[in-house]
Amino acid sequence: MTDHILWGATLLEGFDTSGGPILHENAGILIRDGLVAALGPLDSLRAQSPEAVVEGGAGFAVTPGFVNAHHHVGLTPLQLGSPDHPLELWFASRLALRDVDLELDTLYSAFEMIESGVTTVQHLHSRAPGSPEAVLAAADKVIGAYRMIGMRASYSMALRDQNRLVYEADRDFVARVPEALRPALVAYFERFTLALPEQVTIFDELLRRHGGGDRIRVQIAPANLHWLSDTALETAAHLAERTGLPVHMHVLETPYQKAYAVKRSGGSALAYLDRFGLLGPQFTIGHGVWMSEADIALAAERGVCVCHNCSSNFRLKSGVAPVNRFLAEAIPVALGIDEAGINDDRDMLQEMRLALRVHREPGIDSAHPSPAQVLRMATEHGARTTPFAGQIGRLSPGMAADCVVFDWRAVTWPYQDDALGFVDVLVQRAKARSVHSVMVGGEWIYRDGRFVKVDREAVLAEIAERLSRPRTQAEIERMGLARDVMPHVRSFYEGYLDGMGDDPHYRTSGRL
Ligand SMILES: [Zn+2]
């Protein structure tokens, strides 16, 4: 393969051990076999590889590709008909969503991610109905879409074996609803009731097919404490030990989940997971909004990562994660856009800005994340939560050539004072429209504002055509089920939070 040199007026290599950005001026990377072979001034790279194709230029800036460390679906629940609800009601509301072809669906959000600089996604596939064969076929559709567009993806199929609609056993919830509603509810549960050994078989098959991939890898995703029996938690811990793969788990996303953990274990969700040996540097907490001070101390002690899903926490009324406390304890924090960001899309630059601004506690000397910390979340720390850890997230020699090329003139036009450093300007001003090109493993997948390998307009037209067809009978029945079951889901949570006395991590306003 021909060597390439990619250079810009500014190159962000990554971050040093104290979190400071490592910047190079008028510098680039020499790319060989998909990896960064060398880094430095343009002249020295040319001397090392005189035949190399030189790309980039003085009007550009080059950064490591971003990692969206928590992602589920393509077309958003809102697009498909479910308004935002608190998570616990949202599960029911989302029963009504239309069926979308998984390849088209995955491409839809991949477009949005890539055009905002995302090169790697942690795809958490929450549920696929049917037999093990059907579940594997669904996984292959998602993975196939990432292969098609050229994105790097860590794929997981959620492990869960109980409490599928509310935080109690399916059969107990069925018993709460009127008799007329029971057959439809039971039929729904039966579509998603694979036994634990079958789920392990699916995981092993996914690992066999994709575990050693260059751009696609697999990881373990126990869905959330309430969704896993003790046996399932033991199974997840065993899989992690057997494979050495990272684990990503929704934990303490909402106050109801905090209350659930108390009801189940008499204590905190995190302390309970620790009993199963799950917590360690390979473990990432998705959300972690309701972590107590003791949880944060335990997470720091065990070396776990947290994935901060800022937009999602706002949209579903989950609360504000104590990110300032995580950072104070040196817990690596990744960023995830989850189902969709604050604008109902997957714009990583915007998500970074939201994370930057949300944790500004009032007070002259109060804590808040810096732009450099946020950019590190979106690169190196996100990378750390995936099976590509140590291979992506920075542009040092030996790392994968996953990078974003910004049209820096567009970012700074018509003026940007140089009193502010590169990272400050990038995180606070760069928009998706100033992302010029995106490279994964040395290959351009987005170039000068166009997708190289997939025709975006054709995919969108196909989605539009398919969803313009009338709803299927199954979709109509699920809409009815969503509507009919909602009051019973709502009543299940009445009084659920009684007795929970919370003293917030952040003081955002005062009433006395
Ligand atoms: Zn999630």
Distance 352 CA to ligand 1 centre (A): 17
Q: What is the DSSP string of 378-436?
A: IIIIHHHTSTTTTTSSS-STTSB--EEEEEHHHHH-S---TTS-HHHHHHHH--GGGEE
Question: Which residues, including other chains, have CB under 8 Å from residue 483's CB and lie 6 or more apart?
Answer: 96
Distance 110 CA to ligand 1 centre (A): 17
User: Domain residue spans in the chain?
Assistant: 4-64+397-454, 66-360+369-384
Distance 286 CA to ligand 1 centre (A): 7
Structure tokens at 496: 């659920």
Distance 417 CA to ligand 1 centre (A): 39
pLDDT value of position 97:
92
Homologous superfamily assigned to 4-64+397-454: Urease, subunit C, domain 1 (2.30.40.10)
* Angle between helical axes of 132-149 and 196-210 (0-180°, round to 10): 30
* Intrachain domains 4-64+397-454 and 66-360+369-384 with the same fold: no
User: Would you say 161 and 229 are in contact if contact means Cβ atoms under 8 Å apart?
Assistant: yes
Give the span between the Cα atoms of 128 and 236, in whole angstroms: 19
User: Would you say 103 and 156 are in contact if contact means Cβ atoms under 8 Å apart?
Assistant: no
Distance 249 CA to ligand 1 centre (A): 9
User: Would you say 51 and 3 are in contact if contact means Cβ atoms under 8 Å apart?
Assistant: yes
Taking alpha carbons only, the member of 385, 380, 257, 277 closest to residue 321 is 257
In angstroms and rounded to an integer, the radius of gyration of the C-alpha atoms of the chain is 23
pLDDT value of position 252:
98
Distance 333 CA to ligand 1 centre (A): 15
Distance 24 CA to ligand 1 centre (A): 36
pLDDT averaged per 10 residues in sequence order, the chain, 512 residues: 95 97 97 98 96 97 98 96 93 92 98 98 94 96 98 97 96 96 94 93 96 94 98 98 97 97 96 98 98 97 98 96 97 97 97 97 91 98 98 98 98 96 98 98 97 98 97 94 96 94 87 88
pLDDT value of position 87:
94
Distance 322 CA to ligand 1 centre (A): 18
Distance 164 CA to ligand 1 centre (A): 15
Distance 178 CA to ligand 1 centre (A): 31
Distance 341 CA to ligand 1 centre (A): 12
Distance 222 CA to ligand 1 centre (A): 11
Question: Into which CATH architecture does domain 66-360+369-384 fall?
Answer: Alpha-Beta Barrel (3.20)
Distance 30 CA to ligand 1 centre (A): 37
